[in-house]
């Protein structure tokens, strides 16, 4: 009993409180500096929300509680203040812990041009797994800044690795039932220090041709000798309209104009003067809504024309893409009747290319073109061809007559490559599979298929929120933002309620226990707004507020009530002279009694 | 009698303020200074614009051209505006960061450079990398941050010199509408009225070009111009009194007056103590009190001009803490008659006010519209003043702690005085603990509304808590008998570093977290760290000496009683 007594007293003692507080302070100092290095998310997970930190806070709460109870009954003002403060602190600690651990919080993206949304994006990611027996398991995943994954095992899978940047890579393996010639080529250049490998296959068609920075690679299949001969012969130098041709059609009369030859020139056609003002290989409107070209590639060729007749002048934009009709505006005078313009544009063939030609009897040929001229010949595994682009050498590494496409995901070491995050999981049988973020993936296992999805953690609200309007107030005469307001409509089909609310900074709205607050916005897109959606049990809020009131009033009572009481007592007694009412700060013995019943541990 | 002496002190202080009387005389340039400009989200007098522009480019409020008379900010601004000198070649633009000057190949011993020198330097390549990094969200180096500041200065110079687009012409109907320059006035108004203001504007420019010294003519034309501008849109153009209040606020410069009065109060109190002249005590308090009055007046006027709650940036918090220190000191002085409160407070308040006045690059005094998160919030407008008042109490305890340590170092035999000082110091720590706790909790309540959670271990929150713990732990240690009076004096000094970190360090050193609207750069962290280091060295010296003394006493077995030791 005596030992218990001693332990109990120690737990509530100041001798425990001081080192404990000291330790907490040290942890906090370290945590803030650590945070400026690794970021808030990591430090929250690794320190503030970790079990050991929780244990430390719990120990503090126990210490506070026991120390307050030990002094019961609280007789004088000071002891009452002491008890209020220390019990209030327990309430605050409990409340704050509940805020952090029990609150549900996420971001909801809403748009004016879309319907109501109820999918809240929570912090962290989720792994969902459907096993061969159709059971579904899921769990939260936390990835810290250095790429370490927590937990290590989830839903029967080992979470082996995580990469911020992975790319999809493809390869062809023998195994297709129908012939599908596929090749793997390696391209090396000592001068440019490059060594790359590329796979080509006739099908799917997107893999039959690719453009590298230097040239175009392609594979074609041929069934007849005649065709083969034609493919192997040098390209004819027929006249080409590099920038396409403009077909002018006016009632009975037609004319064709080569764009490249006539740019910045005027062409007379009947009574019309057609000036080809400008050519845009890749037509765009810039931010001032002026026409410009995004690149020198012929992605969206367009011509600006000025056409004058005796009665008026018009400006025309004609486009090489058939699906874009011309845009015409009357600059002055009357509209020109009966005029049709058709801009015909064919993407010019690549200047430099390397084509692989596969015949029915599994023979391979190549054609290559460069500024040095045209080449052709047979192609065999291990043989190198120098097509003539710098010092590039192309070697056939592999030939797969029945190529079957196989997709794999590999971590991208080159940070320039824009990829997706992916999680590497290993099954019990040892199959390792990369799960790209946001894409469900199938894992083949002997006992059946496992479906796994690594993606955002979402929460469905019991109601939807529609953004009706997003209002940005600016400071007078400037572009700086004074306030932004989301005018939202809460649509609750279950309760058949539809309510309009306004949400702006520091002014959230509440609906059925959910707090909806303005979080962020996109300066480039004013049709969009991000709302913070949060649910916190009422008792949690009540705890923090009660604790707050207890602590503040407790400190005030503890520090100032004794002096005030004395002052009042002396006023009523009138025995002491008035000068003695100066508040005493140093404790009188009666005040020091708070630790009287403690046996100092030493 | 005491009250009379106190009032005499206040009157004396206010008299010192009023002298010289000339500061209240109207200047012929007043109409020019009170010309309204709409810039950076508010309407301000030309006087303010001139001061802000010159300070931002040049780093101080006056400019000394080569072989010429010094120009005040207004003349400098007018010269920029009306382009009366070759601003390409005037060494006007401040470049203070030495390593940047080195990497730009500029003369490191010079502070000011010409526009053309900077344009010719390598600045562009540094800016290019900086922007590249900003786009990729990579943290910038100090060099790059400084280069961006220089770029802002260059841009502002370019914008100001010879501009005809200064938004002087009010919007015809909308009180928040965009104002335009004289050149673009016909966008809003018809020809006759536009012509009239154009004529006045040209006249003003010509008058300045011909004779910049002739203030009465300039004032005359400016008066006519401003009357016409106001007549264009009387409902939108601000009241004359509003502008006058702002111009005279800066003209009066209440914060500079306040620190001078604090200084006088300090000297008077030193005299009281040196000559035991108790008669002057209340007078000294009066002078100090008049300083507090003018300080408070200045703060209130600033709030009025800005039209928003106080203490929303580092500059305002430094002024507010200076005020808090003086106010708490006066309050405690009235309760305890200790004299030392005032002695401890005056230097600290003076330092606060001088710092806030002289470091415009770090403590930016310009009035700007608030960022949305700081707007329109009741809890914020009480949370920040409360928490910073807590800082003020601890700052005062820091001052008193130094006085205490001084006693331990130089007059350890004055035991009764040390005991009283310790008591007074303890009272300050109590107030600080109460205010800081209340402030932290109010912050939690604000965070509940603003960020949706009471407590989330944000660095600023955490550091405020650490700062509080730095005091609470020793206070408990004192109860446990582990901390003596001497240790509490050391605490007052050392624990203030926690406050410093919460107040300044989180914004300037850590630079992470949700309180990012308070963050800034160029906070001369090294100087602050150096001062802290020196102070800690002082504490260490006192501690060593005190320890030696304790040992001697133990040898002599004349241990004097420790009052707070447990029984």
Task: Write out pLDDT tens, residues B211-240.
Answer: 888 888 888 899 999 898 988 888 889 988
**Shortest CA distance from B40: residue in chain A:** A478
The rounded distance, in Å, linking the Cα atoms of B280 and B293 is: 20
Shortest alpha-carbon distance between residue B21 and chain A (Å): 38
Paired residues of B94 in beta bridges: B112
Label the pairing between strands A216-222 and A353-359: parallel
Kindly report the three-state secondary structure assignment for every residue of B317-338. Answer: HHHHHHHHHHHHHHHHHHHHCC
Q: Measured between CA atoms, how close is A564 to chain B, in angstroms?
A: 13
Q: Kindly state whether B465 is in contact with chain A, defined as any CB-CB distance less than 8 angstroms.
A: yes
Chain B residues lying within 8 Å of A504, measured CB to CB: 372
Q: What is the pLDDT of residues B337-394, one digit of tens each?
A: 888 999 999 999 999 999 988 877 777 888 888 887 777 678 888 898 999 999 999 9
pLDDT tens digit sequence for B29-51: 888 888 899 988 888 999 999 99
Neighbours of A37 (CB within 10 A): 11
- How many angstroms separate the CA atoms of B169 and B190, rounded? 13
- Please check whether residue B178 touches A, CB under 8 A: yes
Which is it for the CA torsion A575, A578, A583, A584, positive or negative?
negative
In this structure, are residues A39 and B510 in contact, taking their beta carbons and an 8 Å threshold? no
The answer to whether residues B196 and B331 belong to one domain is no
Rounded Cα gap, residues B125 and B151, in angstroms:
12
In the prediction, which pLDDT does A35 show?
85
B347 interface with A at CB cutoff 8 Å = no
Query: Given this model, what pLDDT does residue A574 score?
Result: 61
Give the C-alpha separation, A308 to A330, whole Å: 10
Q: Are A211 and A444 in contact (CB under 8 A)?
A: no
- Round to whole Å and give the CA distance between A261 and B551: 103
- Considering only CA atoms, which of B204, B247, B209, B248 is closest in space to residue B226? B204
ipTM tops 0.85: no
User: CA of B17, closest CA in chain A: separation in Å?
Assistant: 34
For residue A354, what are the β-bridge partners?
A217, A368
Residues B182 and B165 placed together within one structural domain of the fold: yes
**Distance to chain A for B26, nearest Cα, Å:** 31
| Pick from B372, B380, B444: CB nearest A484 | B372
Residues spanned by the domain of B232: 30-245
A477, A515, A539, A601, best to mutate vs chain B, most B CBs in 10 Å: A477
Residues B149, B188 within the same domain? yes
- Chain B residue numbers touching A506 (CB-CB < 8 A): 373, 375-377, 380, 449-450
For residue B469, which of B511, B499, B441 has the smallest C-alpha distance? B499
| Residue B515 falls inside a structural domain | yes
Does A505 contact B375 at a Cβ distance shorter than 8 Å? yes
CB contact under 8 A, B434 and A96: no
On whether both B34 and B168 belong to a single domain, the answer is yes
Run of H or E residues at A264: none
Secondary structure (3-state) at A144: coil
| B220 and B281 part of one domain | no
User: In this complex, do A548 and B510 lie within 8 Å of one another by their Cβ atoms?
Assistant: no
Contacts B307 to A, Cβ<8 Å: none
Q: In this complex, how many residue pairs, one in chain A and one in chain B, have their CB atoms less than 8 Å apart?
A: 176
Q: Where are the beta strands (DSSP E) in B85-184?
A: 93-94, 112-113
Distance from A18 to chain B by nearest Cα, in Å? 6
User: Band of the pLDDT at B396, cuts 50, 70, 90?
Assistant: very high
**Whole-number pLDDT of residue B175:** 85
**A370: closest CA among A393, A387, A348, A391?**
A387
Q: Among the ranges A252-261, A345-354, B275-284, B415-424, which has the highest mean pLDDT value?
A: B415-424
Check whether residue B188 and residue B291 sit in a common domain: no
- Indicate whether B385 belongs to any domain: yes
Q: What is the pLDDT of residue A592?
A: 38
Residue B197 lies in a domain: yes
Q: Residue A172 — φ and ψ, nearest 5°?
A: -110, 135
Per DSSP, the three-state class of A392 is coil
Of A412, A420, A409, A434, give the one whose Cα is nearest residue A157: A434
Is the CB of residue B380 less than 8 Å away from at least one CB of chain A? Answer: yes
For A94, nearest residue in chain B (alpha carbons): B455
Question: For position A300, what pLDDT does the model report?
Answer: 84
Q: Do the Cβ atoms of B445 and A508 come within 8 Å?
A: no
Cβ contacts of B465 on chain A, cutoff 8 Å: 28
Q: Which residue of B has its CA nearest to A43?
A: B457
CA atoms within 13 A on the CB side of B326: 33
Residues of A in contact with B479 (CB under 8 A): 14, 594-595
* Residue pair A45/A142 in contact by the 8 Å Cβ criterion: yes
Which positions in chain B touch A537 (Cβ < 8 Å)? Answer: none
Whether residue B465 and residue A28 make contact (CB cut-off 8 A), yes or no, is yes
- Phi, psi dihedral angles at A586 (to 5 degrees): -65, 140
Q: How confident is the model at residue A323, as a pLDDT?
A: 80
Q: Are residues B186 and B299 in the same domain?
A: no
Domain boundaries, chain A: 2-102+540-595, 108-119+459-534, 124-169+409-456, 179-234+350-401, 245-344
CB contact under 8 A, B512 and A99: no
First to last CA, chain B: 45
Do residues A341 and A317 touch, judged by C-beta distance below 8 A? Answer: no
Are B343 and B266 within 8 A, CB to CB?
yes
Which residue of chain B has the CA closest to A584? B423
Mean pLDDT of B489-506: 90
Confidence of residue B513 (pLDDT cuts 50, 70, 90): low
- Distance from the Cα of B513 to chain A's closest Cα (Å) equals 7
Burial A197-208 (b: 16+ CB within 10 A, else e): ebbbbbbeeebb
CA A246 to chain centre: 45
- Is B285 found in the same domain as B239? no
Largest CA distance in chain B: 98
Using CB atoms, which residue from B178, B437, B451 is nearest to A477? B178
Across the interface, of B369, B372, B563, the residue whose CB is closest to A586 is: B563
B428 touches B397 (CB < 8 A)? yes
* B108/B175 same-domain check: yes
Please indicate, yes or no, if residue B274 is contained in any of the structural domains.
yes
Would you state the pLDDT for residue B7? 81
Reported as a pLDDT band with limits 50, 70 and 90, residue B10 is confident
* Mean pLDDT per 10-residue segment, chain A (602 residues): 86 90 93 84 85 93 91 85 92 87 87 89 85 84 79 83 81 83 86 79 82 81 82 70 82 82 82 86 79 80 87 87 83 82 76 84 85 83 82 86 81 72 84 83 82 87 92 85 90 90 88 87 87 87 91 91 86 56 41 37 35
Q: How far is A394 from chain B (nearest CA, A)?
A: 36
For an interface test with A, which of B2, B38, B39, B41 has the most A Cβ atoms less than 10 Å from its Cβ? B41
Q: Which residues pair with B544 in a beta bridge?
A: none
Residue in B471, B448, B464 with CA at minimum distance from that of residue B502: B464
Mean per-residue pLDDT, B117-130: 88
Nearest one of A268, A216, A261, A269 to A240, comparing CA atoms: A261
Q: Which residues contact B309 (CB under 8 A, 6 or more apart)?
A: B303, B380, B381
- Do residue B154 and residue B128 come from a single domain? yes
Beta-bridge partner residues of A117: A465
Angstrom CA distances, B514 to B359, B373, B458, B517, stand at: 25, 10, 7, 8
Whether residue B20 is contained in a domain is answered as no
Q: Are residues B547 and B409 in the same domain?
A: yes
Rounded distance between C-alpha atoms, residue B222 and residue B32, angstroms = 5
Look at residue A491 in the predicted model and tell me its pLDDT.
92
Q: How far apart are the CA of B257 and the nearest CA of chain A, in angstroms?
A: 33
A217 or B510, which is more confident? A217
User: From the list A22, A481, A548, which residue is nearest B444 (CB)?
Assistant: A548
Mapping DSSP to helix (H, G, I), strand (E, B) and coil, where does residue A200 land? Answer: strand
Using a CB-CB cut-off of 8 Å, the residues of chain A touching B488 are: none
Q: Do the chains contact at B480 and A600, CB–CB below 8 Å? A: yes
Q: Is B120 on the interface with A (CB under 8 A)?
A: no
Domain count, chain B: 2
Cα A283 to Cα A319: distance, rounded to the nearest angstrom: 9
Give the alpha-carbon dihedral of B154, B159, B161, B164, to 10 degrees. Answer: 180
- Show which of B191, B223, B245 is a domain's final residue: B245
Shortest distance, CA A511 to any CA of chain B (angstroms) = 14
Looking at residue A65, its pLDDT comes to 92
What pLDDT sits at residue A589? 38
B455:A534 CB<8 A: no
Q: Tell me if B475 is assigned to some domain.
A: yes
Q: Distance between CA atoms of A449 and A129, rounded to whole angstroms? A: 11
């Amino acid at each position: 009993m005596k030992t218990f007594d001693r332990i109990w007293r120690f737990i509530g003692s100041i001798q425990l409180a001081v080192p404990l507080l000291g330790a907490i302070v040290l942890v906090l100092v370290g945590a803030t500096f650590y945070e400026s290095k690794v970021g808030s998310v990591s430090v929250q997970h690794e320190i503030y929300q970790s079990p050991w930190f929780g244990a430390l806070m719990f120990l503090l709460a126990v210490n506070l509680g026991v120390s307050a109870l030990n002094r019961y009954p609280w007789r004088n003002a000071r002891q009452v203040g002491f008890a209020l403060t220390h019990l209030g602190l327990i309430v605050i600690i409990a409340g704050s812990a509940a805020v952090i651990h029990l609150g549900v919080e996420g971001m909801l993206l809403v748009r004016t041009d879309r319907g109501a949304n109820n999918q809240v994006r929570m912090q962290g990611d989720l792994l969902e797994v459907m096993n061969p027996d159709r059971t579904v398991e899921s769990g939260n995943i936390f990835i810290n800044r250095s790429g370490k994954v927590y937990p290590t095992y989830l839903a029967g899978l080992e979470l082996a690795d995580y990469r911020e940047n992975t790319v999809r890579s493809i390869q062809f393996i023998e195994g297709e039932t129908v012939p599908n010639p596929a090749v793997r080529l390696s391209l090396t250049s000592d001068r440019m220090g490059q060594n790359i490998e590329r796979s080509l296959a006739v099908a799917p068609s997107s893999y039959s041709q690719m453009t590298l920075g230097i040239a175009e690679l392609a594979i074609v299949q041929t069934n007849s000798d005649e065709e083969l001969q034609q493919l192997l012969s040098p390209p004819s130098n027929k006249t080409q309209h590099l920038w396409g041709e403009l077909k002018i059609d006016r009632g009975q009369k037609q004319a064709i104009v080569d764009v490249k030859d006539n740019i910045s020139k005027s062409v007379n056609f009947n009574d019309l003067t057609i000036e080809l003002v400008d050519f845009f290989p890749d037509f765009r409107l810039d931010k001032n809504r002026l026409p410009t070209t995004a690149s020198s590639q012929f992605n969206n060729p367009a011509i600006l024309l000025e056409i004058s007749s005796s009665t008026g002048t018009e400006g025309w934009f004609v486009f090489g893409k058939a699906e874009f009709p011309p845009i015409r505006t009357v600059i002055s005078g009357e509209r020109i009747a009966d005029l049709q313009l058709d801009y015909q544009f064919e993407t010019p063939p690549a200047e430099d290319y390397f084509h692989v030609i596969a015949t029915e009897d599994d023979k391979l040929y190549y054609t290559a073109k460069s500024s040095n001229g045209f080449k052709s010949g047979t192609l065999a595994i291990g043989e190198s061809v120098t097509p003539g682009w710098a010092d590039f050498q192309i070697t056939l590494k592999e030939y797969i007559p029945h190529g079957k496409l196989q997709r794999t995901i590999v971590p991208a070491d080159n940070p320039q490559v824009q990829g997706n995050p992916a999680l590497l999981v290993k099954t019990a049988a040892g199959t390792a599979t990369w799960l790209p973020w946001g894409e469900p993936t199938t894992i083949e296992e002997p006992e059946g298929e496992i479906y796994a999805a690594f993606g955002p953690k979402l929460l469905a609200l019991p109601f939807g929120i529609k953004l009706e309007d997003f209002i940005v107030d600016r400071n007078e005469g400037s572009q700086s933002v004074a306030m932004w307001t989301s005018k939202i409509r809460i649509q609750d089909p279950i309760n058949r309620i539809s309510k309009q609310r306004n949400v702006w900074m520091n002014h959230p709205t509440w609906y059925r226990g959910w707090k909806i607050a303005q979080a962020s916005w996109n300066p480039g897109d004013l049709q969009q707004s991000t709302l913070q959606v949060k649910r916190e049990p009422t008792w949690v809020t009540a705890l923090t507020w009660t604790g707050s009131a207890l602590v503040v009033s407790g400190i005030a009572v503890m520090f100032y009530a004794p002096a005030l009481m004395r002052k009042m007592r002396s006023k009523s007694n009138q025995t002491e002279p008035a000068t003695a009412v100066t508040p005493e700060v140093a404790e009188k013995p009666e005040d020091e009694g708070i630790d009287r019943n403690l046996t100092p541990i030493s | 009698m005491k009250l009379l002496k106190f009032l005499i002190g206040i009157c004396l202080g206010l008299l010192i303020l009023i002298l010289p009387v000339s500061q209240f005389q109207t200047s012929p340039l007043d109409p020019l200074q009170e010309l309204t400009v709409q810039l950076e989200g508010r309407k301000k007098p030309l006087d303010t614009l001139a001061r802000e522009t010159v300070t931002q480019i040049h780093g101080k409020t006056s400019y000394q051209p080569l072989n010429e008379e010094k120009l005040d900010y207004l003349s400098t601004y007018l010269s920029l505006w009306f382009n009366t000198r070759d601003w390409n070649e005037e060494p006007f633009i401040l470049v203070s960061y030495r390593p940047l000057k080195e990497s730009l190949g500029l003369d490191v011993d010079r502070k000011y450079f010409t526009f053309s020198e900077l344009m010719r330097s390598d600045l562009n390549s540094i800016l290019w990398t900086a922007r590249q990094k900003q786009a990729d969200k990579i943290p910038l180096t100090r060099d790059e941050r400084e280069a961006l500041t220089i770029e802002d200065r260059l841009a502002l110079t370019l914008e100001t010199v010879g501009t005809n687009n200064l938004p002087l012409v009010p919007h015809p109907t909308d009180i928040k509408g965009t104002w335009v320059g004289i050149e673009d006035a016909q966008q809003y108004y018809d020809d006759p009225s536009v012509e009239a203001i154009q004529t006045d504007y040209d006249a003003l420019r010509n008058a300045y070009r011909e004779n910049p010294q002739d203030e009465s003519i300039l004032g005359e034309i400016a008066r006519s111009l401003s009357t016409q501008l106001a007549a264009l849109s009387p409902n939108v153009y601000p009241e004359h009194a509003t502008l006058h209040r702002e111009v005279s606020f800066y003209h009066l410069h209440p914060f500079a007056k306040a620190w001078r009065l604090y200084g006088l109060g300090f000297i008077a109190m030193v005299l009281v103590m040196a000559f035991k002249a108790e008669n002057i005590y209340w007078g000294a308090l009066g002078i100090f009190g008049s300083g507090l009055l003018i300080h408070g007046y200045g703060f209130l006027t600033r709030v009025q001009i800005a039209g928003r709650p106080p203490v929303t940036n580092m500059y305002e918090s430094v002024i507010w803490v200076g005020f808090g220190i003086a106010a708490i000191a006066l309050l405690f002085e009235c309760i305890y008659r200790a004299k030392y409160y005032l002695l401890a407070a005056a230097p600290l308040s003076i330092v606060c006010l001088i710092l806030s006045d002289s470091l415009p690059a770090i403590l930016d005094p310009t009035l700007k519209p608030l960022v949305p998160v700081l707007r329109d919030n009741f809890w914020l407008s009480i949370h920040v003043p409360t928490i910073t008042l807590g800082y003020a109490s601890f700052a005062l305890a820091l001052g008193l702690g130094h006085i205490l340590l001084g006693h331990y170092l130089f007059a350890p035999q004055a035991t009764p005085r040390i005991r009283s000082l310790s008591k007074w110091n303890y009272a300050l720590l109590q107030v600080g603990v109460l205010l800081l706790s209340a402030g932290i909790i109010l912050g939690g309540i604000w965070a509940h509304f603003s960020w949706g959670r009471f407590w989330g271990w944000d660095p600023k929150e955490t550091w405020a808590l650490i700062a509080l713990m730095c005091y609470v732990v020793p206070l408990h240690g004192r109860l446990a008998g582990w901390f003596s009076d001497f240790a509490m004096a050391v605490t007052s000094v050392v624990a203030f570093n926690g406050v410093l970190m919460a107040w300044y360090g989180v914004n300037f050193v850590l630079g992470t977290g949700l309180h990012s609207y308070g963050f800034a750069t160029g906070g001369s962290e090294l100087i602050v760290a150096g001062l802290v280091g020196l102070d800690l060295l002082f504490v260490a010296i006192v501690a060593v000496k005190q320890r030696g003394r304790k040992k001697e006493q133990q040898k002599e077995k004349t241990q004097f009683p420790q009052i707070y030791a447990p029984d």
